[in-house]
Structure 1
Amino acid sequence: MKCLNNRADSHLTGQVECELNSVGKGGWVNQGYCGSPPPLPRAVSTIYNPQPLYQSSMDSMYKLDTLGPFSQPPEDLPSAEQSLVKKPRGCCSFVKGLWGTTLTENTSNNRELFVRTTIRELLIYVVFLVDICLLTYGMTSSSTYYYTKAMTDLFVNAAGAGGVSFQSIGTMSDFWTYTQGPLLDGLYWTKWYNNQSLDNGDQSFIYYENMLLGVPRVRQIKIKNNSCKIHKDFQNEITGCFDVYNEKKEDDLSFGLINGTAWTYHTEKELNGSAYWGLLATYTGAGYYQDLSRTKEESAAMLTELADNLWLDRGTRAVFIDFSTYNANINLFCVIRLVVEFLATGGAIPSYQIRTVRLIRYITHWDYFILGCEMVFCVFILYYIVEEILELRIHKLSYFNSIWNILDIVVILLALVAIIFNIFRTIKVDQLLDSLLVNPDIYADFEFLAFWQTQYNNMNAVNLFFAWIKVFKYISFNKTMNQLSSTLGRCAKDIMGFAIMFFIVFFAYAQLGYLLFGTEVQSFSTFVKCIFTQFRIILGDFDFDAIDRANRVLGPIYFVTYVFFVFFVLLNMFLAIINDTYSEVKEELSSQNDELHITDIIKQSYMKTFMKLKLKKEKISDVQKALRSGSGEIEFKDFRETLKEMGHSDQEISAAFSRFDRDKNQILDEEEQERMKIELKEKKDALSAELNNLGMNYEKELLEKPPAASNQQNNNSSQTFVDCDEFVRLSRQVLHLESSVAGITSKIELIMEELGLQVKTKGKEAAGKLSNHEPASDGSVLVCVDRGTKAEMSSRRPVVRNNSTFDSHM
């Protein structure tokens, strides 16, 4: 007995240790609990609050125990049974409940557990998805588009007195005409439309609403002379050579008047600039710059001086006009960059970039609501980080075999970058605005922040896209939803083989089109444009006349053969592969047995809750009948016999009677009976209301469902339908059987415990007699081993051991 007790004690100590600390290889290790799973609590069933051994997750939704004053277990129960009612919890059971997923629990052989766990994951993820949607859409506004459109119409599309707009700039002369006309007129608004002053001093409000921040800046990048090599036959006639833009050939020498920033080269670091990706090349943030003034007259004089002294020459490759505005009505910044690229061939190509961003975040009540959503978002990201760590620790490298796990990591990484940038942006904007308010006559460089804010918005858009795609992870267990993923997974190899053949033909035609039409057709002017143009031809968007004009013979041949091979042959082969695989997958899924789906779980939980309520209501009716059957005072034995005939267990009857027998005399007087009737009526009315909320017609609709519909759902299983009364009777018998078994089990365990105590007592007596060299009372022979360790070597009579007690701990 001593040895067995030591084993039991050591095992109880081991239950405290968490399995998360030791993960075995080669087998599934449930990381959700500490030690061995505890035995299921044996809930005590009463007349008013029956609790079956199996409780669904939907039971807690309705909180049935709060309907009456009978939620506590009876006081007269043995202490051992009261202790069994409490469910042991530990650190790892908390982890299992909070981070339990289909990858941290062994759901391979338990379809119902898999569906329930997936539903719980989906509900948590829906809350996360709502939160990230609020964050993403809370940072944008429909006013952003109209703000951008207003600035585009004013500075890009508007034409001056000479008819030159920014989009029509084709020469250096056109550029100066635009800057001294539409540009200055758009930048400086100091009067109303009736020439009345705005009374804002020298501060400009574009369209009367958008404040010009600081002063505009004009910057150019030049290329060195003789940066290209002239053929010897033209060296006498051509004295200067300016190559296409290249950073290594960028000119850094002072020129012209040499007495200002417009004539002196400044590095990218000195200007705190950044590179710009233009239509022809990628330009650095260095160059020669001129900051304009806060008044229109002074700025016009500066531009005239630059034009008169040939600030732009043959070496100029790009001119940038940068300025920023702020609209307090909608709390948006508009950072505008107008770019004119001068080609080595002569002429100019204008382009522009307008970024409308929200740099100041928290002003209105809605902004602070978004701040709260951001905090919730951070909590969710921390939650999912812990979840992925647990899953990675369990599955090791096999964790990366699932595309959904990789998608989880991508979403988390993007979210972490977004959080870090959000903090950086808030600090940087405050510093920039502080310096601008101290000296409003300097150039307000919001280009850097606007660029990264745009990338931040793009990253959030991609992250939201991935977050929506991840929903398929939680709904793919359904047969219908599984068809898409199964089809793509099965035909992946065929599609890869087809893709090789397709792109060989596709890129062959792209090179052919580039070489045939690249010199005349804009959509074929570069190889990249050829690729996109051919995709557009597949979709029916093409300009056949331009191809025909470029080459009257090879143009039609190229077009007809491309459409035939790519559109009619290859594209239809691609569709045939997917269609054939889809048909196979659909046929296989239709022939399989229906597994447990989410709708089945909801129906089962709904029906269990419905039947439990109905059985409780019937038991209350039985107690009311027992009360009405008696006259005057009711003794416990009469009360017990009446309810026993109706099928109630002794435990339920004792709990009901002792609840109202205040004086404990085993007799219910008239006052106690009246109080019992009142509480029974209140309980019954509450249950009736609950049944009405659940829907009384659900049971009828379920039972009236034609057998053919059920057979269609499960072709390989036979089902027997019973009427409602028979189903209620069977359910009631099952619950009574469970309560009876629970009572018998508790009594058996108590008997086994008493036997164990007796055996332990005999062992102590035998040990005492052994120390006195006396034979044991039962005739057993005891031998002393290893200095006092006593072991029973043989016995005439077997010792009864409490196997159930030890088995629960071993």
Structure 2
Amino acid sequence: MSSTTNIRSVDSFSSKSSLAPQTIHKPKQSKFHKIIQFFLSFNIDRKETDDNSQQHAKLVLRAFLIYMIFVGNILIVAFLSQSKYDFFITNTFEYHLIDARFPVKSAWLERNIRYNPYKNAQNKYGDAFMIDFNQIATFDDIWQFMNETIGNVFYRSHVWQSNPAVTSQRSIRWILDHFLMIGVIRMRQVRVKAEKCNIPKSYSDEIADCYPAYSLNKKDTDPFGPITFSDSTEINMKQAWNYMSADTTGMGSYSGQYGTYDGSGYVADLAQYERTNKRFTNDLNELEKFHWLDKATRALFIDIITYNPSVNLFSYIKLIFEMPLTGGIFPSYKIENKQLLRYITSTKYILIGCEIIIVTFTIAFFFIEIVKIIELRLTIFLNIWNWIDIILLIISILMIIANILRLLTINTALYGKMSIYISTFDELTIKLLRLQSLFDTLSILLTSISVIRILKYCDFAVTIVRIKATIQRCFGDLIGFLIMFVAIMIAYAQFGNLALGQQAPAFSTVGKAFVALFRAVLGDFDYEAISDASPIAGPLFFFLYIFSMVFILFNMVLAIIVDSYEELGNEHRDVINRMLINVTPVVKHSIRKFFERFGLWKKVKVIVQFIISAEDPFNSKTVADLLQEFKYSATSSLYDELRHAFAHDMTKLISKKDFQAFLKYSRDDKDRQRDTLQSLFSGNTPLIDFNEQQEWSKRARNLCTIQQWAQLRYRIARLEELFDLIEGKIDYIIRTSDSLLQTVASSFERSDNENV
């Protein structure tokens, strides 16, 4: 023992002395190498790990548990950032603003209404008629909506002042008894420049200017209206007639149904510095009097901000009126409820803790991805899970940046301006709402992708492994089919747009037609609209599309997937076995090791056996007890087979009934072998016949199971019954035909006799 020790010490000394010049750089390389190995240990790709399946199972379980902590914190942050009162607040504003009806003059009674159900009401009440927000169709309707609906909700409600001495600039305005209005209401329009019309010369004398669709290079930036007159002393809202850039307004871009509009435009802040109903009405009357809205207007935006202190939610109400170059007004709305001040509730410590954990995990994942890219280089992009990891990391970083910007914006000196007393439009709150919307969107994406990524670690579930293997096997066929599917969809979308686009709204553009066709595949379609648009082409188009896409192409997709699934189940089980990870021994060993550390394993084992026992635990047996009995009552082959099958489950409980059944089977098997040997050695069965019988029995066991043999016997019995039934029917037909022939022959004889 001492000699070997001396040899090792000499070898180690010689190795150290031979590497003496490199000892200066060795510590740095070893630390870096350890860091790389630590981060690469989270890569669970089977190609990059050792062949030891147990070691790979430990690696997968460790990565799975660590990742589940990350996912759990993401879900907590996502759910705590949302409020269960969002829907109720949105429903409240929809009821009071969108669904509320207001009176308009009778001159617009017939517009856009095929059948007028209020004709008798018009004759009875003269110029009184009621519409709601979605029925607005003219500029006069917009002004009436602002005066009636908006004015009633926001300026003709109860006003409570904290101090009677303060003026209306410092008043707290309660809306619908539970909401506070932040700032004032802002109206913003975007306009286009007039340009020469591209029309025949015969019309050019009568028609001077045309107004194009809205775009950045055609928007109007010049002052307009009465401010351009020499005498503009009557105007109080001079800023409403001057152009303001997006940086000045603080508004973001908006993608509507008929175009995309930036945050610039002409801004009118109503009742600014004096939040009273009188000032609000005067400002509206001034804008209406001087025609602030005209045919150069392409979109009108109304922005309102409220705060509900009971649920700590800011509400951003955005009413949009689009006015395309084809004419008409198309209203829409958007109501967002955001929790801008999140760290003031009882769950703030949980939220802060989860966010810190997410930041820590994101930093760790960032270094893991960097090390993987350095180690694997471009081969990292050959695996789809690596793409998901990179996307997940990018979204996590963007979400952290958005949250930091939001916190910095709230905690800056500008935070004092976000007050319930503010008498101008609150652009700071708009900025916070935009940052919060970005944070919520990134949080939703991160939550969805992170939950999907759990499937990466689920290779210990046979069903998931089989599904993943099926998708991998048929992926190429599905890509080829997808190309054909998209080509046919584009063809049908083009046909639907050209044939039905003028009448059916769902096919007015190629993009909408594409979406409508996808919805039709899912069973959501409006056949009456298609039929009304074209009585001949509509039904023909619909039935051809449903037949070709649903009955043919989608069944082809199912056939491809089912065929690959069956091939994996019948011919390629080795693929599933290679992908499957057996984590049961690792989990059992970890649990046992944990309880053995505290000396509780024996007690826990007894408790578990007592709980999982189906019968009385004192009458139940274990697999070890069964093997002990099999040593004396079973054959050696059966004993070895059972011991190999339950090598890791010796403590598994067996009911008394099953225990007796096992013993009976072992005795019967032993008696059967004894009888076979006795018949062989007594000369009753030749050795050749015995060998053939054993060979046929072995082949039969390989080709057919007991269940399949029972099914085959049942089917043969049914077949015999069918043959007996067919035989009886044939006998009946023969007897019936004989009697029928006799009857026919007698009738012929009778007729011959009568003729004679």
TM-score (norm 2): 0.69
Which position in structure 1 is the counterpart of 2:708?
A: none
Which position in structure 2 is the counterpart of 1:58?
A: none
Q: Distance in 1 between matches of 2:536 and 2:404?
A: 61
Q: 2:147 matched to 1:180?
A: yes
The one-letter code sitting in structure 2 at the alignment partner of 1:234 is Y
The one-letter code sitting in structure 2 at the alignment partner of 1:231 is P
Q: 2:409 matched to 1:428?
A: yes
- Secondary structure of 2:523 counterpart: coil
Q: How many Å apart are 1:529 and its aligned residue?
A: 0.6
Where do residues 788-803 of structure 1 align in structure 2 (5 Å cutoff)?
none
Which position in structure 1 is the counterpart of 2:249?
A: 271
Which position in structure 1 is the counterpart of 2:749?
A: none
Which position in structure 2 is the counterpart of 1:597?
A: 582
Q: Distance in 2 between matches of 1:433 and 1:467?
A: 34
Q: 1:582 to 1:18 in 2, by over 3 A?
A: farther
Q: How many Å apart are 1:119 and its aligned residue?
A: 0.8
Where do residues 647-662 of structure 1 align in structure 2 (5 Å cutoff)?
none
- Secondary structure of 2:181 counterpart: strand
1:442-486 Cα offsets, whole Å, 9 max, x none, are 111233432332222111111111111111111124433211111
Q: 2:263 matched to 1:285?
A: yes
- Secondary structure of 2:426 counterpart: coil
Q: How many Å apart are 1:588 and its aligned residue?
A: 4.1
Q: 1:719 to 1:16 in 2, by over 3 A?
A: farther
Q: 2:82 matched to 1:101?
A: no
Where do residues 449-460 of structure 1 align in structure 2 (5 Å cutoff)?
449-460=432-443
Q: Give aligned pairs, total.
A: 578
Which position in structure 2 is the counterpart of 1:148?
A: 90
Q: Distance in 2 between matches of 1:322 and 1:603?
A: 61
Q: 2:180 matched to 1:211?
A: yes
Q: Distance in 2 between matches of 1:191 and 1:490?
A: 68
Q: Distance in 1 between matches of 2:501 and 2:391?
A: 40
Q: How many Å apart are 1:362 and its aligned residue?
A: 0.8
2:179–2:306 Cα contact (<8 Å) kept: yes
Q: Distance in 1 between matches of 2:548 and 2:306?
A: 53
Which position in structure 1 is the counterpart of 2:497?
A: 514
Q: How many Å apart are 1:339 and its aligned residue?
A: 1.2
1:411–1:467 Cα contact (<8 Å) kept: yes
Q: How many Å apart are 1:9 and its aligned residue?
A: 2.3
The one-letter code sitting in structure 2 at the alignment partner of 1:357 is K
Q: Distance in 1 between matches of 2:373 and 2:39?
A: 17
Which position in structure 2 is the counterpart of 1:310?
A: 291
2:181–2:307 Cα contact (<8 Å) kept: yes
Q: How many Å apart are 1:690 and its aligned residue?
A: 5.1
Q: Distance in 2 between matches of 1:705 and 1:107?
A: 39
Q: How many Å apart are 1:191 and its aligned residue?
A: 2.0
Which position in structure 2 is the counterpart of 1:123?
A: 65
- Secondary structure of 2:304 counterpart: strand
Which position in structure 1 is the counterpart of 2:395?
A: 414
Q: 1:588 to 1:599 in 2, by over 3 A?
A: farther
- Secondary structure of 1:261 counterpart: helix
Percentage of pairs with the same residue? 29
Q: 1:567 to 1:94 in 2, by over 3 A?
A: closer
1:685-726 Cα offsets, whole Å, 9 max, x none, are x7764553554678955547999xxxxxxx9x94536999x9
2:301–2:319 Cα contact (<8 Å) kept: yes
2:460–2:581 Cα contact (<8 Å) kept: no
- Secondary structure of 1:470 counterpart: helix
- Structure 1: unaligned runs, 5 residues or longer: 23-33, 35-89, 614-682, 708-714, 729-810
Among candidates 501, 512, 516, match of residue 484 of structure 2: 501
Q: 2:213 matched to 1:244?
A: yes
Q: How many Å apart are 1:264 and its aligned residue?
A: 2.0
1:227–1:249 Cα contact (<8 Å) kept: no
Q: 2:422 matched to 1:440?
A: yes
Q: Distance in 1 between matches of 2:24 and 2:531?
A: 80
Which position in structure 1 is the counterpart of 2:113?
A: none
1:166–1:350 Cα contact (<8 Å) kept: yes
Q: Distance in 1 between matches of 2:377 and 2:395?
A: 23
2:317–2:334 Cα contact (<8 Å) kept: yes
Q: Distance in 2 between matches of 1:213 and 1:521?
A: 42
Flag the structure with more relative contact order, 1 or 2, with Cα contacts below 8 A and sequence separation at least 6: 1
Q: 2:555 matched to 1:535?
A: no
Q: Distance in 2 between matches of 1:687 and 1:130?
A: 30
Which position in structure 2 is the counterpart of 1:786?
A: none
Q: Distance in 2 between matches of 1:706 and 1:454?
A: 66
Which position in structure 1 is the counterpart of 2:691?
A: none
1:9-54 Cα offsets, whole Å, 9 max, x none, are 25469899999977xxxxxxxxxxx6xxxxxxxxxxxxxxxxxxxx
Where do residues 83-94 of structure 1 align in structure 2 (5 Å cutoff)?
none
Q: Distance in 1 between matches of 2:645 and 2:224?
A: 100
Q: 2:302 matched to 1:388?
A: no
- Secondary structure of 1:248 counterpart: coil
Which position in structure 1 is the counterpart of 2:53?
A: 111
Which position in structure 1 is the counterpart of 2:508?
A: 525
1:104–1:391 Cα contact (<8 Å) kept: no
Q: Distance in 1 between matches of 2:621 and 2:382?
A: 47
Q: 1:540 to 1:18 in 2, by over 3 A?
A: farther
Which position in structure 2 is the counterpart of 1:656?
A: none
The one-letter code sitting in structure 2 at the alignment partner of 1:314 is K
Q: Distance in 1 between matches of 2:155 and 2:523?
A: 47
Moved more, 321-330 or 471-480: 471-480
Which position in structure 1 is the counterpart of 2:617?
A: none
Q: How many Å apart are 1:192 and its aligned residue?
A: 8.3
Name the structure with the higher helix share: 2
Q: 1:427 to 1:600 in 2, by over 3 A?
A: same
- Secondary structure of 2:210 counterpart: coil
Q: 1:448 to 1:690 in 2, by over 3 A?
A: closer
2:182–2:421 Cα contact (<8 Å) kept: no
Where do residues 556-595 of structure 1 align in structure 2 (5 Å cutoff)?
556-588=539-571, 590=573
The one-letter code sitting in structure 1 at the alignment partner of 2:192 is I
Q: 2:13 matched to 1:9?
A: yes
Q: Distance in 2 between matches of 1:113 and 1:124?
A: 17
Q: How many Å apart are 1:409 and its aligned residue?
A: 1.8
Q: 2:301 matched to 1:320?
A: yes
Which position in structure 2 is the counterpart of 1:692?
A: 606
Q: Distance in 2 between matches of 1:547 and 1:723?
A: 66
Q: 1:398 to 1:284 in 2, by over 3 A?
A: closer
Q: Distance in 1 between matches of 2:381 and 2:472?
A: 16
Q: 1:691 to 1:306 in 2, by over 3 A?
A: closer
TM-score (norm 1): 0.65
Q: 1:689 to 1:577 in 2, by over 3 A?
A: closer
1:360–1:426 Cα contact (<8 Å) kept: no
1:585-642 Cα offsets, whole Å, 9 max, x none, are 22245467697612233345667899x89xxxxxxxxxxxxxxxxxxxxxxxxxxxxx
Which position in structure 1 is the counterpart of 2:326?
A: 345
The one-letter code sitting in structure 2 at the alignment partner of 1:553 is I
2:627–2:643 Cα contact (<8 Å) kept: no
1:189–1:207 Cα contact (<8 Å) kept: no
1:115-155 Cα offsets, whole Å, 9 max, x none, are 11111111111111111111111111111221222222222
1:226–1:240 Cα contact (<8 Å) kept: yes
Q: 1:103 to 1:541 in 2, by over 3 A?
A: closer
Q: Distance in 2 between matches of 1:433 and 1:474?
A: 45
1:320–1:340 Cα contact (<8 Å) kept: yes
Q: How many Å apart are 1:277 and its aligned residue?
A: 1.3
Which position in structure 2 is the counterpart of 1:61?
A: none
Q: 1:325 to 1:118 in 2, by over 3 A?
A: same
Q: How many Å apart are 1:494 and its aligned residue?
A: 0.6
Which position in structure 2 is the counterpart of 1:221?
A: 190
Which position in structure 1 is the counterpart of 2:643?
A: 720
Cα RMSD (Å): 3.7
Q: Distance in 1 between matches of 2:588 and 2:344?
A: 48
Q: Distance in 2 between matches of 1:345 and 1:436?
A: 41
Q: Distance in 1 between matches of 2:45 and 2:526?
A: 57
Where do residues 603-614 of structure 1 align in structure 2 (5 Å cutoff)?
603=588
Q: Distance in 1 between matches of 2:408 and 2:399?
A: 14
Q: Distance in 1 between matches of 2:646 and 2:407?
A: 67
1:223–1:317 Cα contact (<8 Å) kept: yes
